Structure formats: structure tokens, C-alpha cells
Structure 1
Amino acid sequence: MKHHPYDHRWRERLHRQQMKRAQRMHRDWAWRWRARHRWHQRWHRHHAHFKHSLGARLIAVFAVLACASSVILWSSMGSAYGLLWAVPALLLVTGLAFAVIRHMVQPLHALALGAEAFSRGEFSHRVPVVHRDEIGDLAWRFNQMAADIQAMLDGKRALLLAISHELRSPLTRARLHAELVEEGESRDALLLELAQMRDLIAALLESERLGSGHSALQLSDCDLADLVREQAQSGVELHIDDDLPTLPLDRLRLQLCLRNLVQNALRHNDPSRGAVQVRLARDGRGVRLSVRDFGPGVPPEALPQLGQPFYRPDAARTRHEGGVGLGLCLCRLVAEAHGSRLELRNAEPGFEASLSLS
């Protein structure tokens, strides 16, 4: 059919057909692109899940190990001397799989070390995040927990320091007023109570200062023999080795530690069995200090808690047997600040506290 030269309807129909064809091609291309994009995203998602999943990687290692072992055994059956090379090959493949698995679970050792550090109170320790898998997520949560606990302890320390400082002024005024009271049992009891409150506040302040460790010390050359001789009193026997070295120590803190240990020993000692023994002996390049009494000792189940703030064994929870449970805590903090450790044990009979200084 011949189109009239002035009839443009056929041109419009042709144009509409071309537009429909182009739209159809565009829809097909868009569908293919979306399908490919979905497949690409799904592949990346599975790849990320595999990469960050310890279980998936372990399954992959076992699958590769099983396939490699099967191939080695199948190949060895067709040879007369197959076992001669199959056994070393199997051992090699197994060794490689063991090395890969050990590398995957190596962060567990770092987690164990971090848990031990946290149990010692070293909340500044951080567990390295090696892989972004379940173990890495656990390590990150460990570090976050340590940071939160450290922040909580810092807040508690700041609060105790502030309260202790604020209590000093009214306590001093109360003592001045008590001095004006007429002499008698009431005045003596009041002064004794105020003295105990003063000692408690001083112990709290000192324990919080020592909480920062070695940085709280003021080190200087110290002769421990002179410090021990200052404790010479009735009921105390001194045993000091000759030619002891002079060590860089905080004299005031060690004096406080030694005084608390001796007073604690005198409080629980049985004089009929013997006097309190204070020994200062050479220990390698350093010096070992020990204080022993001949009292009833401490129940074995209470030994791990000794040295904790405000802890006292049941046998010592009486008004007449002294402190509030900060004496041994201060001794422990002084020892730890000097890089040592306060060792507490039942000496049978009696009780012994010792520490090594270098």
C-alpha cells in the first residue's frame, strides 16, 4: 500500500512502535541490572557473614580437609606404593588444617589473659581485637566492660576523696569542742571515738591515693633496718640481717605498712607462746620483711579475703579487737605500689604477713 505524501499517520504509528520497543528493552535491561545487583549484594552479604563467622570458617576448613583427604586416598589406591606418599600427605594436610584452626582461635588466649588482668584489678588492660568475628565482638565487649568499670571506680574514688576531705573540718571542730568537756569517762570515750574517726578518714584518703599505684609514691633511698628498729617495743622481737642494701622506697608509706602489721600482730598475739617476731632478711638482690604473731590465726576460708577493704574475719568482729578492716588493705596497697605482693598465711601456730622489696 502506497502512503500518500501528506499522510503522516504511518509515521506516528512507526514512532509509537519504536518507543514501545525501546521501553521494552529498557525494562529488560533494568530487570537484568536489578537481578545482577541483588545477586551481587547477596554474594557480599554471604561473604561478609562467612568472613566474620568463626563457625563458618571452621566448617570450611573441615570441608577442605575432608576433600583433600579423600583425593589423597583415592589417588593412592591406584598406585602400588600409594601409602608411602599418602600418609605423609595426609599428615601434612592435617598439620596445615591444625595451624589454620589454631590461628583462628588464637584470640581466645588473649581473652584469657585479659580476664586474668581484670581479676587482678588491671582495668587499663585492653584485649586486642584480631578478627571481626564472634571472638572479636567478645573482645570488644570485654574492653568496653573494663572501660565502664574503670570509670565507675574513678567516680567512686573521687567521691570518697571529696567526702573524706569535707569530713576533716567538722571532725577537727568536734575534737576542739570535746577538749572543753570536763574530764571524765565520757570525755575520754568521746575523744577515743573522734580519734578512731580521724584514723578512718586518714586510712580512706591513703587507700584512695595508693589506688593509683606506683605514681603515688615518693621514692628515696631508704634503710629498712632503721624502720624496723623504730618498732622496738614491749612484746616485739627484732631479727635484722647484717649488710642489707639501701633501696629506693617510699619511707612514710612503708612506715605506715610496718606499723599496721606490728599493731595487728600485737592485737592477736598470745604472749604466753612468744613475742611478735619482726624479721628483715636478704632475699636475693632485695629484702624480705615478715611479721609473725603466735595467736589463733585465721580460718583458712578467710585467707583469700584478707586485705580487702573493710573485711575482717568473724573472730575479729568485736569492738575491743580494733580496726574497721583497712589496716591490711593499706599494707596490701603499699606492697603493690612498690611492685611487690603482701603474702598472708597461717604459721601454725600464729599468723605471718610478709613482703619482698627490691
Structure 2
Amino acid sequence: MNHPYDHRWRERWQRKHLKRARRMSRDWEYRWRVRHRWHQRWHRHHKHFKHSLGARLIAIFIVLACASSVILWASMGSAYGLLWAVPALLVVTGLAFGMIRHMVQPLHALAQGAEAFRRGEFSHRVPIIHGDEIGDLAQRFNQMAADIQAMLDGKRALLLAISHELRSPLTRARLHAELVGESGSRDALLDELAQMRDLITALLESERLGSGHSALQLCEVDMAALAREQAQPGVELHIDPDLPTLQLDRLRVQLLLRNLVHNALRHNDAARGPVQLTLQRAGAGVRLVVRDFGPGVPAEALPQLGQPFYRPDVARTRHEGGVGLGLSLCRLVAEAHGSRLELRNAEPGFEAAVRFS
């Protein structure tokens, strides 16, 4: 026969087991949280280790030191320990060197990217090889190049639009000026308008050539015939026979020749000799040289020549020295043809040279 208060013992037993089950559940949940937190922390440290180049280099040096110590300690207990210890040390060192070289390999790509950006090739992109600090730097390099390219494209588009829009009112102003009666003021006005027209033309041409080789219209060009077009008083031609015919942009090579010859005539000392225009065969190409016998250029100004609007003598007027776009256009024409404009003092005089191939 059951005791009338058996249900109390049963309830007490149930509460006891329920508390134990809850306690076990809390303990399991706590252990799971601790394990999950440790797992997250391990992943976080592992990610930081993979991202940190310095941490991986330190780890390699520690492993190299430990491996070398073990090899040396093991070799001390053997009579022929050095026979195998030295090759083992060389192998361990070679492995460490290979791993370090693999980690710093993206630095070479960064150096190539910096050199390309120095040349103005902002379309170049640095490959992102590793997802570490060097990879972050490469990504920032690429973003910087994209931003600079976008800024230059916007500037070029704005300058082209402004220069193009200025040509129409300039043409109308010239027509009105020609209707004015003969006078010194009319001639001065026409001269100023002609200089403005040349400046706008030079700006448009420089911006078009900013796109490089894609701006060219190539055809068969006889360099000797182009050089003979520049024959004029004060210019002496020296042309090698049997020069090869080259694939060039005829109009822009004419522009280069005209600017170089006019620049040489402007600064030449006729008492020392005429301007010399020389065409020499250079392998499968032709080397063009224009030399004058003027005062030359200060040595500190040579690196700046060829930059837009730069003139070595800032005291010269625009009528005497131009606006500083002639040599800049020559440099752009040479670079668009895959060459470069070489400028140097010839003592006496000044020399500009371009090699076309």
C-alpha cells in the first residue's frame, strides 16, 4: 500500500534531476562558448599572421634557428656528424631562403609598377599576389593609378573642349581684324591672333598625342624628303644616301622637324655657323639630329626641357621665346613613335636628336 506522501518524494526527486540536467546543460553551453571563442580567437590570430609579413619572417627565422640548433646538437654526438650536418644546414637555409623570396616577390612587381607610373603609364596595374601588407600596398597603388588616370582624362577632355571652342571666336576676330584699315595696330593685332591660334593648335595637338601611339596615322614616309622641306637660309642639310622608308605619321614628323629647326634658328649664332640638320642611318632606322651654335642651355635646366610651358630663360618675352610648347610637342611626337627626344649641350651650341625605326 503506497504512503500518502509518496508524491512529495517523487516531486523532490524530479526537481533534483531537473536541476542536474539544467546544470549539465549550462556546463555544456559554457564549454561550447569557450571553445567557440577560442576557435574565433585562433582564426583571428591566424588571419593576422597570414596578413603580417613581419610575423611570417620572424616565424621562419625561429624555425631556421631551431632546426639549425637541433642539427648541430645531433651532429655533436656522432663521429661523422659534420658530414651530414653541413648539407642539412644548407638544405634548411635554402628552404628558408626560398620561402622568404616567395614572400617578398611582390616587391619586384611593385618596383615595376612604380617605374611604369614614373613614365606616365597609369593604365599599368600591379598584380596582387599575396593577401598581406604588400598586397594591400599593391591595391592602393592600383587605386592611385586609377584616380590619377581619371583626373588626367578629365583634364584632357576639358582642355580639348575649351581649346576647340576657342577656335571659332578666334577665327571671327581675325576676320574682323582683317577688315580694319592698314595700320601698325592692325598688324600687331593680327600677329597676336596668329600667336593665339598657334597656341590653341599646339594645346590640341599635345592633348591628342597624350594617348600615345593610338593617336598616330601611320604611312610610308621618306625622311630625306621631309628634311629637304626644311631647307632655308641658315639651315645646312647632311643626309646619308639610301635611307630606309619608315612607317611614321607624316604630319606629326613634319611638326617635329619644323619645331626643332625653328627653335635652333631662334637661338643660333650665325657667326659660328648655320643650323645643321642631319639624317643618319641607324640600323633599320634613321637618326635625326638638329644642332645650333648658340649659347646652349644651363645644365640645371636640361632635365626640365620638354615639359609644357617651360622656358629656360623666364625673362624672354613670348614673342622672342614662344610659350614653351615646341619642345614639349617634339617630345610627345617622339614618344608616340616609340622613341624619345634626346637634348644636350653640344659645346658650342645645343643638339636635339630622335631615332625613328
Q: Letter of the aligned partner of 1:226 in structure 2?
A: A
In the other structure, the counterpart of 2:145 is 146
- For 1:123-134, what aligned pairs fall within 5 Å after superposition? 123-134=122-133
Partner of 1:46: 45
Matched, 1:105 2:104: yes
- Cα deviation, 1:106-136, whole Å, max 9, x if unaligned, reads 1111111111110110101111111111111
Indicate if the aligned counterparts of 2:129 and 2:135 stay in contact, CA closer than 8 A.
Answer: yes
> Which runs of 5 or more residues in structure 2 are unaligned?
none
1:279 corresponds to which residue?
278
The match for 1:209 is 208
Tell me how far apart the structure 2 counterparts of residues 326 and 89 of structure 1 sit (CA, whole Å).
66
Structure 1, unmatched stretches of 5+, are none
Query: Residues of 1 paired with 2:174 and 2:7: CA distance?
Result: 116
| Segment drifting more, 309-318 vs 192-201 | 309-318
3 and 349 in structure 1: CA distance in 2 versus 1, 3 angstrom threshold:
farther
Aligned to 1:346: 345
SS for the counterpart of 1:131 is coil
* 2:248–2:337 Cα contact (<8 Å) kept: yes
Aligned to 1:67: 66
Q: What SS does structure 2 have at the residue aligned with 1:317?
A: coil
SS of structure 2 residue aligned to 1:136: helix
**1:232-251 maps to which residues of 2 (within 5 A)?**
232-251=231-250
SS in 2 for 1:130: coil
Matched residue of 2:297: which SS? coil
Distance in 2 between the 1:316 and 1:241 partners? 39
Q: Is the 8 A contact 2:311 2:321 kept in 1?
A: no
For residues 315 and 228 of structure 1, the distance between their equivalents in structure 2, rounded to whole angstroms, comes to 31
Amino acid at match of 2:71: I
Give the corresponding residue for 1:319.
318
Q: Distance in 2 between matches of 1:254 and 1:31?
A: 81
Corresponding residue number in structure 2 for 1:254: 253
Deviation at 1:55, TM superposition (A): 0.4
User: Residue 16 of structure 1 aligns with which residue?
Assistant: 15
Cα drift, residue 154 of structure 1: 0.3
Partner of 1:163: 162
- Map Cα deviations across residues 75-116 of structure 1 (whole Å, 9 max, x no partner): 111112222222222222112211211111111111111111
When structure 1 is superposed on structure 2, of 193-202 and 175-184 the one drifting more is: 175-184
Change (3 A) 1:317 1:134: farther
1:293 aligns with 2:292: yes
Deviation string 1:265-299 (CA, Å, 9 cap, x unpaired) is: 00000000100000111100111111110111111
Structure 1 distance, partners of 2:318, 2:326, is: 15
1:190 and 1:95 map into 2 onto residues whose CA distance is 77
What stretches of structure 1 move > 4 A for 4+ residues in a row?
none
**Is the contact made by 2:235 and 2:275 (CA closer than 8 Å) also made in structure 1?**
yes
Structure 2 residue identity aligned to 1:163: I
Structure-1-length-normalised TM-score: 0.97
One-letter amino acid of the structure 2 residue matched with residue 125 of structure 1: H
The CA deviation at 1:315 is: 6.1
Once the two structures are aligned, what percentage of the paired residues are identical?
83
Contact 2:71 2:85 in 1 (8 A): yes
CA contact (8 A) 2:274 2:293 kept: yes
Aligned to 1:4: 4
**Matched residues in 2 for 1:129 and 1:13: separation?**
68
Residues in 2 aligned to 1:29 and 1:82: alpha-carbon distance in whole angstroms: 53
TM normalised by structure 2 equals 0.97
